[in-house]
Every structure is written in structure tokens, then in C-alpha cells.
Structure 1
Amino acid sequence: MAPNPGRLDVGAALSYGFDKFKANAGPWLGITAIVWAVGVAVFIFTFASTLTAAIAAADRGESAAVATTSGVFIVVTAFGTFVSYFVNAAFVRGALDETGGPEKPAFGRFFQLTNVPQIAVLALIWTVLTVVLSFIPFLGTLLTIVFGFLLSFSLTFLLDRNEQAVTAIKSSFDLTVKNFGPLVLLLLALAAINIVGGLLCGLGLLVTIPVSVVAINYAYRVLTGAPVSPAR
């Protein structure tokens, strides 16, 4: 019998995310700290590479310096975007187990990724898309947000159902379009709690990011009719 998709309740998703985090805080704090470290490292590397390129090209004139700096920035940013997709995959791996597995995911489970070649394909598609859109002032940013929403479950479908990258994109597109209203409300609520988390010297993000990841994967399970493990 095919699963029966349910109705997404934003409050229930947030409550579920908080309950799951409290019940398994250690691994989630650990993986979030690693994500922070990777993010800081990528930022420093991007800044240092761009600054070094600008200094090296300064003697060749202003236009050469701008061109070189822009080129280096685009390449380094693209690399960072590609790598960050694998970081996101680790989050999704843990959240899938947290929301549907019989046991809480241990720290090492986050790194036991499957379908890695297709993760790389999906990461490459997203990287190319964001780089191309970055050349379009304002509209590019808006389109990046729209595509980010439409593809928000691509990694989840890829890891949970072992789908190919293109198939996972189509699956995510279908799910988000069919459930546009509830998912937008959920993402707005998650954006709000992460803004609050960021205002607390950033430390609140150690809680709000895991809660957000779990809540999104809870939404995936509810909307696809997949089994959901008890919150407690």
C-alpha cells in the first residue's frame, strides 16, 4: 500500500525538532560545531585568497586587479559552495535517522553518507546554478532563494530513497510546489528562530540549526507519508 501523505503543522514540526534535539543534544552540538569550523575556514580562505590576488594584480592596473580579484572570488566561492553541500548532506543523514530510525543517530552516523557520486552531481548542479545567478543583480539573488526553496528536499530524497541527482531535484520540486503554503510558513518560522539564535552572540545557532534540520526532515516525512519516529 502506498504511503498516505499527511498535513504539515508548523507548530508540531518546531516542537518535534526541539524535542528531538533535547533527547540527543550531544551529536547535534558536535556536528553543528564542525559546520561552524568549516564555515569559518572557508570564509578565511576566501578572504585571504581574494586579498592575495588583489595585491598581486595591483601592479598591473586597476582593471586587471578587479578582473583577477573577481575571478579568484568566484572560483573560491564556488569551491566553498560545493564543499558545503557535503556538510549539508551530513546534517540530512543524521536528521533522517533522527526522524525515522529506531535509534538516535550517534555522532559518527552523520558521516556515513551513501550515494556519494550523486551527492557530488547535485552539489555541482547547485554550484553552477548559484554562480551563474550571481552575475544577475538583485534578480539573481531572488532566483537563488526561489530555487533554494524548490530544491530544499533534493538531498533528502537522494539520501533517503537513493535517487539520482536529477530525479531528486524533480521529486523536491514536486513536493514543494504541492505543499507551497505550509512549507513557506515553516521556513519563515525557522528563519525567525535562527535570527534570534544569531542575535545571542551566535551561540543560539548551536540549538536552532539542529532544530531546523530536524523540523525540515519531519516535514519531509509527514508530506511524503513516510513513518515518523516518536518525538520522545
Structure 2
Amino acid sequence: MSNYGDTPDDETPKDPYGQPPSGPPSEPNYGQPGAGAPNYGDPASSQPGNQPGYGQPYGQAPYGQQPYGQQPGGVSTFSVGDAFSYGFKKFQANLGPLIIAALVLFAVVAVIQVLQYIVGGGGETTIELNDDGTMTSTSGGMLGGSIVASLFFGVLSFLAQLAIQAGIVKGALDITQGQRLSIGTMFNGINWVQVLIASLILAVATIIGLVLCILPGLAVMFVTAFTLQFIIDKDLPAVQAIQASAKLVMANAGTVLVFFLACLAAYFVGAILCGIGLLVAIPVVVIAQAYAYRTLQGEQVAA
């Protein structure tokens, strides 16, 4: 006769209420957005039935298991020093493709500027005083330094720089996932339409902000710092990517501000070193930004 409360031999004891099941804990869902931090680019994270701030259904990212880059309580372990150290290490490991991409960027910009100078006459205008007291103005170049020429080459330069910038961002994101980098893979899988739409929106907003006492323009640049990353990595539409970047930045405003200033300092140092330093500064900063983008969301970064 069994005592009251004993478990029959053919039944498996049930876990007490509130106690975790026996056996080894499951591994955290590394590399998945929302594995321990808000997934700012995933609308599903706000749907009923999902873990608050996780963006994954119950059972995929259990509470109490900390993903890479997170401390207990969900506080990010991201640091500016770690980001730039990671960026420089990965720059050295992928020196060839990154240097080529940076050189192509400089070469394209230089060629466009030379063509603009030749075709538009460098914007030079000569004013002559006639004998009858009137003045005559003449402009050099094939198109006479016209506004049309300036606009054409300005748009051409913008599109070329945008394409190469997106390619470098794509390469940096691939590096953080441990993928092999090449010039071909840097430009594959990018939604160019959304990249262009987002860039035009941000360009207009930044110009308007700079006109309004400069600070609003800097604020636009600050909160939208991860827009391209969200478009390329999460395949978000332009507007949603801008919103996701703003949410991520504002949730980590102090840390991102320090990182933002450090990126500007790196570009400045690279520029004063006869411009050659930018061949190092640009790839290192972009990789550091990819590291920040993933780490601030609690995503794993490849060692």
C-alpha cells in the first residue's frame, strides 16, 4: 500500500510548479534576432504570444539564458574599444577585398570629378567689361559650366558612392557572420531600390536639418546610423529600416553617441594623413559599425 502523495511506479513524477524541467538546458538561439535583446527590425516581436523584447516564440530563446554580447538583465556588453579592435582585426584578415573596394570608391569619385571639371569647365566663369559699359560673362567647359552639368555629375557621384558604400556595409555584415569575403559577394543580395529610397530620404532630411541650425541635421545622421544595415541584413523597406535604426539608437543613445564621435574621429585622422589613412579608416569603421549593429541587438558576432 502506498502512502498518500507517493507516485505510482508507472507514472513519471511531474516537475513542481515553477521549477525548470530536468536535463541540460537548451542552447540559446544564437545569431537570431531577438535572442536576448529587442529585435528592432522584426514586427513579430510585438505580437501576442511572443516573449517581450525577444521576437521569438516561447521555447526558442528561454529566459535565463544569456546570448552573446549580453549581461544578466539584458544589458549590452558592447564597448567602443571592442568594436574598433574587432574592426581592425577583421580588416587585417580581409585586407585584399576591403582595400580594393576602398580604392574603387576613391577612383570612381576622382574620375567623376575630373569629368565634371572637363565637361563643365570646373564651374569657372569669366566676366568682361565691354566698351559700351555692358558686361559679358562666359563659362568654360563643353557645357559652359551649366547647372545641368553640375546636377548630372552630382547625381552620378551620389549613386556611385552609394553603391560602393552599400557593398562595403554588406561585406562588413558578412564578416560578422563568419562568411568568406570577396568583391562578388559584397554586392550580392542587396535590395538596391530600398537602399536608394532610404538614401534619398536621409539626404533630404539631413540637408534640411543642417539648414536649421546644423544640430537637427546631425541628429538625423545620428539616429539613422544603422539604416543600411537593417535594409541589407533584415531586408526591411526603407521607412521601416529608418524607424528600426532610430529605435536601436535611442535605446542605446549614450553608448552610440560615444561610438558615433569615435567614428568621426577615425575618419578625421584618416583624412589628415594625406587621405591614405582613409583606406584603413573606412573599412575599419564600417566593420566596427556592423559589430555595434549586431552586438547592441544581442546577436552573435563571429570571432
Alignment of 1:208-223 (within 5 A): 208-223=281-296
CA distance in 2, matches of 1:142, 1:123: 19
Query: Which residue is 2:168 aligned to?
Result: 91
Matched, 1:173 2:246: yes
CA distance in 1, matches of 2:217, 2:291: 24
CA distance in 2, matches of 1:17, 1:174: 24
1:3 pairs with one of 30, 35, 39: 35
Alignment of 1:150-161 (within 5 A): 150-161=223-234
Q: Does the C-alpha gap of structure 1 residues 99 and 108 become closer, same or farther in structure 2, counting only changes over 3 Å?
A: same
Give the letter for the 2:293 counterpart.
Answer: Y
Give the letter for the 2:191 counterpart.
Answer: N
Q: Which has the higher contact order (CA 8 A, sep 6+)?
A: 1
Query: Which residue is 1:120 aligned to?
Result: 196
What secondary structure does 2:296 align onto?
A: helix
Matched, 1:43 2:113: yes
Percent of aligned pairs sharing the same letter: 31
Normalized per residue, which structure has more helix?
1
Normalized per residue, which structure has more strand?
2
What secondary structure does 1:203 align onto?
A: coil
Q: Does the C-alpha gap of structure 1 residues 74 and 148 become closer, same or farther in structure 2, counting only changes over 3 Å?
A: farther
Normalised by the length of structure 1, the TM-score is: 0.82
CA distance in 1, matches of 2:156, 2:299: 34
CA offset at residue 131 of structure 1?
Answer: 5.2
| Higher gyration radius (CA) | 2
1:200 pairs with one of 273, 285, 298: 273
What is the number of residues matched between the two proteins? Answer: 223
Runs of 5+ unmatched residues, structure 2: 1-28, 38-75, 129-133, 138-144
CA distance in 2, matches of 1:164, 1:83: 21
CA offset at residue 194 of structure 1?
Answer: 2.4
Q: Does the C-alpha gap of structure 1 residues 48 and 11 become closer, same or farther in structure 2, counting only changes over 3 Å?
A: same
Runs of 5+ unmatched residues, structure 1: 63-67
Query: Which residue is 1:19 aligned to?
Result: 89
Matched, 1:29 2:99: yes
CA distance in 2, matches of 1:48, 1:188: 37
